[in-house]
Amino acid sequence: MVYGSEVSLALRLRNRTNFLGLLAVNTRFRDNGRALLPFDTLRDDPCLLTNRTARIPCFLAGDSRSSETPKLAAMHTLFMREHNRLATELKHLNPQWTGDKLYQEARKIVGAMVQIITYRDFLPLVLGEARARRTLGPYRGYCSNVDPRVANVFTLAFRFGHTMLQPFLFRLDSQYRASAPNSRVPLSTSFFASWRVVHEGGIDPILRGLMATPAKLNRQDSMLVDELRDRLFQQVRRIGLDLAALNMQRSRDHGLPGYNAWRRFCGLSQPRNLAQLSRVLQNPGLARKFLNLYGTPDNIDIWIGAIAEPLLPGARVGPLLACLFENQFRRARNGDRFWWEKRGVFTKRQRKALRRISLSRIVCDNTGITTVSRDIFRANTYPQGFVSCTRIPRLNLSAWRRR
């Protein structure tokens, strides 16, 4: 996400002009005095097509999709700034450290932050808090016989997030008001629009919009907004794409089995006819549409079948997605030799310090935002649920001082 998956990209992302362990930043533009991501050097740059006057390229980050929407660009920018903030503070604590030591230690801390935020704060809301406690449970240590690699089916299942996207990019002022003329931009006109970050107020309004605007609720009669259907990337292609169709075609390209095969894998019932599928989906009309299209539940594409299931109590997914998520995230944690809680990765004092981190604090430390959502992944309406940054615990880096 932040550092790339290949050595060559990781090196490109680093600031090689000094020995401070920093990530590279944009040398042409700033965001109210704060760093922006550097620009990429793509031969065919889609971002240049979204505003031919502005001529703003796509950003360079650890994930090639960082410029697909300003929301993604904002999050990538936030964690780039956090890395550089950590590296700078570590340099003050340990002036004897080399640039590479500073880079690696800051990277290690950012990695732990992502793990903590994902497992402690995000997944319990997706799976339901009681189920997450039961199925993921506390960390018991590294298991060398656990395969932590990403399952092919997970790359489809985790695209459930597409059902949570609102049809607009919301950008709010310091009082969380939609006061600017461009505060509500259709999603279809924000794809690859890096110029909107550079020339329309930076990342602060975007992050406020994310904190104060609830995610879309997945419903069986409204799975994806129209901005993602037939309008995807329409500014950079001759014709808009359909994200739902792409998701289903991806599973076919990868040769993934259909809906019932994964229900069987998870120990769930495998509906065979209209009556049984109606009971699983709790929706006879939807079940009839599926069978008219697919003939048999066995043939239903995994993505559409999984997101069509009714949500579990207190969760944002149905039983099949919950099973696939639990399997993946449990293996990713238990089979990780560098998991942040594993003995020897961090000291006891460092682990105690890391438990205080939050995404809200990262926003406070790296933007001009002074009032944030206390529980950032829950739906909040300003000012309820929002607090001053002075009330959000900080990460105490004194545990990283070398005597």
What residues are designated binding site for heme b? 162
What are 219's two structure tokens?
A: 């419903």
Least Cα distance to 190 among 244, 225, 238, 236 occurs for 236
CA distances from 142 to 137, 197, 240, 264 (A): 14, 41, 45, 28
Query: What is the chain's length?
Result: 403
Q: To the nearest 5 percent, what fractions of the chain are helix, strand and coil?
A: 45, 5, 45
Output the DSSP codes for 258-314: -HHHHHHHTT-----SHHHHHHHHT-HHHHHHHHHHHSSGGGS-HHHHHHTSPPPTT
DSSP 8-state class, residue 120:
I
Can you say whether residue 201 is alpha, beta or left, with left for phi > 0 and alpha for psi between -120 and 50 degrees? left
What is the Cα–Cα distance from 200 to 202, expressed in whole angstroms?
6
CA distances from 93 to 86, 168, 205, 365 (A): 11, 43, 33, 18
Least Cα distance to 100 among 9, 108, 403, 362 occurs for 108
- Binding site: what residues are annotated? 162
What is the Cα–Cα distance from 302 to 265, expressed in whole angstroms?
12
Residue 294 amino acid letter? Y
What is the Cα–Cα distance from 168 to 147, expressed in whole angstroms?
39
What are 238's two structure tokens?
A: 């001759």
Tell me which H or E stretch contains 325: helix 319-334
